[in-house]
Amino acid sequence: MLDIKTEIAKLIEGPIAAVDGVDVDEDAILAALEIPTDTANGDYAFPCFRLAKGMRTAPQQIAESFAGKIGSALPVGGMIERVQNAGAYINFYLNKDVFCRAVVSDVLAKSEAYGSSTIGEGKTVLVEYSSPNIAKPFHIGHIRSTVIGGSLANIMEFLGYRVKRLNHLGDYGTQFGKLIVAYRRFGSREDVEAAPIETLLKYYTEFHEKAKADPSLDDEARAAFAALERGDAEELALWEWFREESLKEFTDVYDMLGIRFDSYAGESFYSDKMQRVLDELDAKGLLLESDGAQIVDMDEWEMGKALITKSDGSTLYITRDIAAAIYRKEHYDFYKNIYVVASQQDLHFRQWIKIVELMGYSWASDCIHVPFGLVHLESGKMSTREGNVVFLADVLGEAVEKTEEIIREKGVLTEDERETAEMIGIGAVIFQELHNNRRKDYVFSWDKVLSFEGETGPYVQYSYARASSILSKAGEADVCAAAELYTSSNTGGGSGYFTGENAFGLAKLIAGFPETVAAAAEKFEPSIVTRHAVDIAQAFSAYYHDEQILVDDRSERIAKLGLVISARHAVKNALTLLGVRTPEKM
């Protein structure tokens, strides 16, 4: 991987090492290196303030002295063109042509693997995401966990981790008692099979309306769930049927989004594993009785009282999450166990992770909650009880239909109009979702989601399609020649072909892609990749608008095609990590 910062750090380390009493290693230098906002101050800058105390010299003098020593030793034609000081800073200026050619060589040597690493080799990372409730609608609110989690799984896998994608289905709890009662009282098997989620939602909503007038329904529902927990045949059969029918609709949406899972083991999977947790909590003196219920007192950590079992003995989410974490550690021996769950559940996660720690499990800190903000409707908060939801399948379908209309209006030539519309329309929804910081709440708007203007998925996809078009016009012979030129031992490409700011700016962004991927993984933040993809797309647009690429001079043409190929790889790799496909024509 092209690593200019490390090369610069080594140049700085030399003069520092020659000074007695100053201990600043390469890692510290790397951490201090800055990228100036004004390119007149160089491409990289090192502040000398930290050295002043140890050297007992003014930082301005240190910068001037070091800049002179480093600059005089630079090789002719190397990556660093010149070094000069500005006040207390040592500024490094790259040779544009050498840098661009080095970036292209690096990308073409790795192509689809560009930006990846082996940092996670031999380590298992679990990513739990999506996790909808069975028999409830897969609405627009579920898109956040689904695509954020899907992208994080892709990013972790790209960095060499062995990733297991988990869908912890909400397939247990008192709501199933309510649904069983509703189905028995006013349900129809034919209606459920015809439209599972829509019908089950109607039953759920109707149950709550009737329960307002007849509270005994809630008691009946609790009894039905207790029977389900005991494994009574009739309740179990209904529950399994609801689960099976719901999964059919969920799978359709996952297929549209390109989302996959290695496990659909939901809450019910851990129903026979919870007694062990209760016994262990009791044996370790963590359980307390409170009005017939069992709790863990967490006031010491300002987390209140964690309810472990209700007074009737039934378990809760927290019991099941503890059981699930223990099972996953023993089954997968995970390096990290990541939960992509709404920020509303922050206290819940802090509580159960702390309880796991109190149980004596040192790996509790490897269980990581990745929170995200909520989705609201313009008409107010979504509520499955009130039936006030926007189905995710409807959003994706609408996006595809709108895109098909645009394709026809613009006369886009494509072998498969429907498939292209799916790539662009669904890609627009995913990209828009991943463009903003995951922690922020937002209001769902049809107009915004289906807009293809500005910093959107279609805009980035278009840069890929534009690069594909340029390569197609250049012809296979020139494209192969470019690849051969930059992957051979001599990475030449001609002198002076990459001296412009647009080529240099594009190359810098492409070179920064591997670091961007690593940062997204470290912060569990796909929007870092999303925004970098927009930056590359914008830089590529500026490059091909302001410079001629398919020029008559073949040496220049082949050299420039290398940068086009590199931009195309970087854009495709970024979009792939986000879960967005790349059409060849737009």
What positions carry a catalytic annotation? 136, 139, 142
**CA distance linking residue 472 with residue 191, whole number of Å:** 52
> Which is nearest to 66 in space by CA: 106, 31, 22, 98?
22
C-alpha count within 13 angstroms, C-beta hemisphere, residue 171: 23
Side chain identity, residue 255: D
Strand partners, 84: 91
Query: CA 245, 246, 248, 249: dihedral to nearest 10 degrees?
Result: 130
Phi, psi (rounded to 5 degrees) for 42: 95, 175
Q: Hunting for tokens 């790349």 — which residue is that?
A: 582
**CA distance linking residue 566 with residue 301, whole number of Å:** 51
Rounded to the nearest 10 degrees, the angle between the axes of helix 143-158 and helix 417-435 is 90
The enclosing H or E element of 56 equals: none
> Which is nearest to 526 in space by CA: 340, 303, 247?
340
SS3 per-residue string spanning 126-156:
EEECCCCECCCCCEHHHHHHHHHHHHHHHHH
Cα 508 to chain centroid, rounded = 23
Note whether 172 and 271 are within 8 A (CB).
yes
Question: What are 479's two structure tokens?
Answer: 């494209």
